[in-house]
Structure 1
Amino acid sequence: MTLWPRLLIVIAGLYGAGGVALAAVSAHLTGGASLAIAANFLLFHAAALVALAAVAGQVAHMRAVLLVGASALALGALLFSGDLTLRALMEIKLLGGSAPFGGMLMIAGWLVVGASALFGRRA
């Protein structure tokens, strides 16, 4: 496995751990709905990143496109969940528009992942 998919799996592990931690914190805080949403996004995308890294080893054509899509998912989830978490715990915004930009980046990433399947061939 090359470096790029390995990094995605490392990120997935961090997102999985962070998602579990945020879910636990959200269960104990009043108004933890934003944290629960952030936890869900991290957990869902952690599983998706592991799967996409594994699939990247099975396709030859459009592999880079698949990994770009997966990377967009990773960055989008970080921005989206990070912004929600900071708002909930510290009452500050990460950056202006981080959550919406992160959400749009995740949508774009999923579209790129889907498009890579249309053109991919097995290795």
Structure 2
Amino acid sequence: MGAQGVVLAALGAHAKPGSGLEGAAYLLLLHAVAVLAGGVLIERGPLWRPALVAATGGWATGAVLFSGTIAMQAFTGHRPFPLAAPTGGTILIAAWLALCVAALIGGRQE
């Protein structure tokens, strides 16, 4: 995800300015860090593991779906399926809410 973000940032700055690729790159880079942190917390953190696993998977899935849709549309003019980007965004929102649940419940349950 991090490498994809850097590539999209470069393409957005040089090959396709104004196409939305910069925003897609930002989302990928931000969520690449979130996925890495989630992986560490799953193994060592004090948060509720099931919700944290859901959050981490949601960040990866949502970011790739959202950013991939923007990239596909910028380069081909097509989307993978109708409402693909909003679906990815909704998954990202749900993933961040899952992190809140993981923090609220904490390590009290497994």
Q: Taking structure 1 as the reference length, what is the TM-score of the superposition? A: 0.81
Change (3 A) 1:61 1:83: closer
Q: Which residue of 1 aligns with 2:103?
A: 117
Q: Which residue of 2 aligns with 1:95?
A: 81
Which aligned pairs between 1:5-84 and structure 2 lie closer than 5 A?
Answer: 15-59=1-45, 62-84=48-70
Q: CA deviation at 1:58?
A: 1.9
Q: Runs (4+) of structure 1 moved beyond 4 Å?
A: none
Q: CA deviation at 1:30?
A: 4.3
The alignment covers a number of residue pairs equal to 108
Q: CA deviation at 1:114?
A: 1.2
Change (3 A) 1:65 1:27: same
Matched to 1:108, the amino acid is A
Change (3 A) 1:30 1:63: closer
User: What secondary structure, in the 3-state scheme, does the structure 2 residue paired with 1:57 have?
Assistant: helix
> What do residues 1-32 of structure 1 show as CA deviations (whole Å, max 9, x unaligned)?
xxxxxxxxxxxxxx000000000111113444
Q: Which runs of 5+ in 1 are unaligned?
A: 1-14
The answer to whether the 8 Å contact 1:59/1:120 transfers is: no
Q: Which residue of 2 aligns with 1:7?
A: none
Identity, % of aligned positions: 38
Matched to 2:67, the amino acid is S
Cα-Cα RMSD: 1.6
The answer to whether the 8 Å contact 2:47/2:103 transfers is: no
User: What secondary structure, in the 3-state scheme, does the structure 2 residue paired with 1:26 have?
Assistant: helix
